[in-house]
Structure 1
Amino acid sequence: MKASFYPDRRAALIGSLPMTDHAAATQLVFEHAPDIPLWVQLPAYPAEGMLAQFLPGFPGVSEQNGKLFINTQDPAFHDDVLGFYEAYLAAEQDPSVLDGSVFALDTTVAAGFFEFLNQAGPVADRLFAVKGQITGPFTFATGVTDDQGRALFYDDQLRDVAVKLIAAKARWQARRLAALGRPVIIFFDEPALTAFGSSAYISISRADVTACFEEVFAAVHAEGALAGVHVCANAEWDLILDSSADIVSFDSYSFFDKFVLYADHIRRFIDREGLLAWGIVPTGDKEAIGKETVASLVALWHEQVARVEKLGIDRTTIERLSLITPSCGTGSLDMDSALRVLELNAGVSKALRAGQ
């Protein structure tokens, strides 16, 4: 991790917007998060769905009745798996071959990525950092199923392929974004972690989840980038705080009371200069989006920081290691609500950095 990376309450965003124009969406990002912009995902396009967007390159991808799955019965499947590992090992030995490999995103699934590069290039010298994102390995491997309807995570080989696919695609992103000459952040989006530890995933061990995380974080770190984990609800936060993640992104608006219970883990995380991305702007409740103001959210943030201070952490340290973000993406909101989220987030960051 880059010990000198101190965002000091700068604004960042979580990937999605409810739009259909990638250029216009990217312009909105630069307007509302000019220091740490990111490439956008537009869920209006099915190919940019959380699972579908990063599935290309996985052996045996098939579709039936509009649902994507991994067909392990395809006669070519085992040869395709062998080819996948050969491509992965080649990229491990020489990361420059990631471009042009099955691990590279293209405009059919990530037009926002390439639009971001176009718009960021001319202003790169003014940016503090750039941000990318990808579906996390746990969410990906529990969300995609095989031909029997079984989640990939429950098959050792399919899980391994899934994790390596996510790791290599994250590394490809980090390499391409690094060409802008600014620090790079890659978030792993992990909504499924909210159910880890419940009966839904009772047979999945903590050790297996941790191993998945460490593999994808290592891929990002190999490119000198920062690895973050974003969870938009509650989770077993020690799993992330005790990992090698550089950033923990959490919904502080709705779940701060749960997060702050992990006092020892938070202290250790901050001691190693881990960053907190405070999801202080609500995104899940249209009424809350409408009623909150910059002033009310600034007050809420100060109240929450005071509680973290009581854990024995210096306020100045908390401030310099903090990002200000929405609690989640805005892709499922109406456009007016999404715009208000962006405006509130930018306003809160500006107010806090001005000493309010």
Structure 2
Amino acid sequence: MTQFKADAMPLLIGSLPMKDHGEATRLILEFTPEIPLWAQLPMYKEEGMAYQFLPGMPGFTESAEGKLFIDETGEDFDAAYLAFYEEFLAVTEAGKDLDTSRFSLTPETGKGFKEFLRQVDLAPGGFKALKGQVTGPFTFTTSVPDNSGKAIFYNEQLRDAAVKHLAMNAKWQARTFKSRQLTPIIFLDEPALAGFGTSGYITVSRQEVTDALNEVMAAVHEEGGLAGIHVCANTEWDMLLDSDIDIINFDAFSFFDKFILYPDQIKAFMDRGGIIAWGIVPTANVEDINKETCDTLAQRLETQMAQVEELGIDRATLLSQSFITPSCGTGSIDLDAARRVLCLTRDLSKRIRS
């Protein structure tokens, strides 16, 4: 695992409740100047969790009613499927440029990414890393249906194509950041993992999930990047702690009691250099956002970190392997609340580091 000093720096999750990518990027650079990320603005359909990474997938279809699905019944699907894998091999084995491939974001889906690079390149520097994100393979394949309405996760051909599509996009982001001599951090956003292990996914095996995650992570690692995972509710944390992930981002505000149920795995994860991204700043409830202060959150985090220290991890090590984050993105709350979340994240990080 690549050793990176997180040092309790502030880190954000991608979504913001804004319309202007320039303003959103400036806000991000203001509150997280050391490790900024590109903004996802979900008020644009092209920046929704599924849509943003669907272009380039064979059979991608948008109906007149706006329904998104993979249509494998069309007469041109077989040719499109073959072309997809030919381009995948061209990129991975023949040196085709990822920038000009189907795996990069399009002008419609990548406005936040393009604006981010523009502002980063104009900035005076001082960055420790750059952060990007993809929709995680489990969330993507369980939320995108085929033409019959069944999630493409259950179609091995389509699942494989989707995982490779996401892996190559993550690789492209990491390579783009690396070209600026900065460490790439790419998060896999996996809200659907909150449902893993429940009756809704009873036929899904742990191996299928970890294989998909590890394939995307490997693409990031090949570019010298750090791969993180963001789950905004509870999940089977041992599955992630035992995976190839470098950074685990969880909702520490609401679900620390569930996370700490895996002490041996947490200790092993930290011992091999893993980073915990503490999603301690609430985002789900505006009342909580307005009620909490830097003092109350610092108190809560201190209590939680003390429990992790009891596993045999000293404070200096814990801080060097910690980020401070919101519990989730802020795309679904109002802008004033979102700004407060960003402010609390920055100020709490300063408090913890002082």
TM-score, length-scaled by structure 2? 0.98
Q: Which residue of 2 aligns with 1:12?
A: 11
* In structure 2, distance between residues paired with 1:72 and 1:264: 45
Describe the SS at the equivalent of 2:117. Answer: helix
Contact 2:2–2:226 under 8 Å retained in 1: yes
Q: CA deviation at 1:178?
A: 1.4
Q: Which residue of 2 aligns with 1:125?
A: 125
Contact 1:124–1:180 under 8 Å retained in 2: no
* In structure 2, distance between residues paired with 1:307 and 1:74: 56
* In structure 2, distance between residues paired with 1:55 and 1:30: 28
Q: Which residue of 2 aligns with 1:45?
A: 44
Structure 2 counterpart of 1:214, which letter?
Answer: N
Structure 1 counterpart of 2:216, which letter?
Answer: V
Q: Deviations over 1:153-205 (max 9, x none)?
A: 10110110010000011101111111221111000000000000000000011
Q: CA deviation at 1:125?
A: 3.3
Trace 1:13-28 onto structure 2 (pairs within 5 A). 13-28=12-27
Trace 1:318-337 onto structure 2 (pairs within 5 A). 318-337=318-337
Does residue 59 (structure 1) correspond to residue 54 (structure 2)? The answer is no
Q: Deviations over 1:266-292 (max 9, x none)?
A: 011001010000001000011000000
Does residue 340 (structure 1) correspond to residue 337 (structure 2)? The answer is no
Does residue 183 (structure 1) correspond to residue 175 (structure 2)? The answer is no
* In structure 1, distance between residues paired with 2:155 and 2:256: 35
* In structure 1, distance between residues paired with 2:134 and 2:300: 29
Q: Structure 1 pair 95/167, CA: closer, same or farther in 2 (3 Å)?
A: farther
Structure 1 counterpart of 2:311, which letter?
Answer: L
Structure 1 residue ranges (4+ consecutive) displaced by more than 2 angstroms after TM superposition? 122-125
Q: CA deviation at 1:124?
A: 6.3
Contact 2:90–2:96 under 8 Å retained in 1: no
Contact 2:246–2:275 under 8 Å retained in 1: yes
Q: Which residue of 1 aligns with 2:107?
A: 107
Q: Structure 1 pair 140/271, CA: closer, same or farther in 2 (3 Å)?
A: same
Q: CA deviation at 1:95?
A: 5.0
Contact 1:120–1:180 under 8 Å retained in 2: no
Describe the SS at the equivalent of 2:125. Answer: helix
Describe the SS at the equivalent of 1:188. Answer: strand
Q: Which residue of 2 aligns with 1:251?
A: 251
Q: CA deviation at 1:96?
A: 5.1
Q: Deviations over 1:202-251 (max 9, x none)?
A: 00111111110111111010111000000001110111110000000000
Trace 1:1-356 onto structure 2 (pairs within 5 A). 1-3=1-3, 5-64=4-63, 65-94=65-94, 97-123=97-123, 125-354=125-354
Q: CA deviation at 1:347?
A: 0.4
Q: CA deviation at 1:106?
A: 2.3
Count of aligned residue pairs for this structure pair: 353
Q: Deviations over 1:62-84 (max 9, x none)?
A: 12221100111110001100000
Structure 2 unaligned spans of 5+: none
* In structure 2, distance between residues paired with 1:96 and 1:255: 43
* In structure 1, distance between residues paired with 2:130 and 2:305: 26
Q: Structure 1 pair 11/95, CA: closer, same or farther in 2 (3 Å)?
A: farther
Which range is displaced more, 214-223 or 121-130? 121-130
Contact 1:139–1:193 under 8 Å retained in 2: yes
* In structure 1, distance between residues paired with 2:96 and 2:282: 40
Q: Structure 1 pair 175/124, CA: closer, same or farther in 2 (3 Å)?
A: farther
Q: Percent identity?
A: 54
Structure 1 unaligned spans of 5+: none
Structure 2 counterpart of 1:90, which letter?
Answer: A
Describe the SS at the equivalent of 1:208. Answer: helix
Q: What RMSD over aligned residues (CA atoms) do the two structures have, in Å?
A: 0.9
* In structure 2, distance between residues paired with 1:94 and 1:238: 37
* In structure 2, distance between residues paired with 1:146 and 1:140: 12
Structure 1 counterpart of 2:56, which letter?
Answer: G
* In structure 2, distance between residues paired with 1:9 and 1:94: 40
* In structure 2, distance between residues paired with 1:188 and 1:277: 13
Structure 1 counterpart of 2:217, which letter?
Answer: F
* In structure 2, distance between residues paired with 1:115 and 1:343: 22
* In structure 1, distance between residues paired with 2:123 and 2:234: 37
* In structure 2, distance between residues paired with 1:178 and 1:96: 18
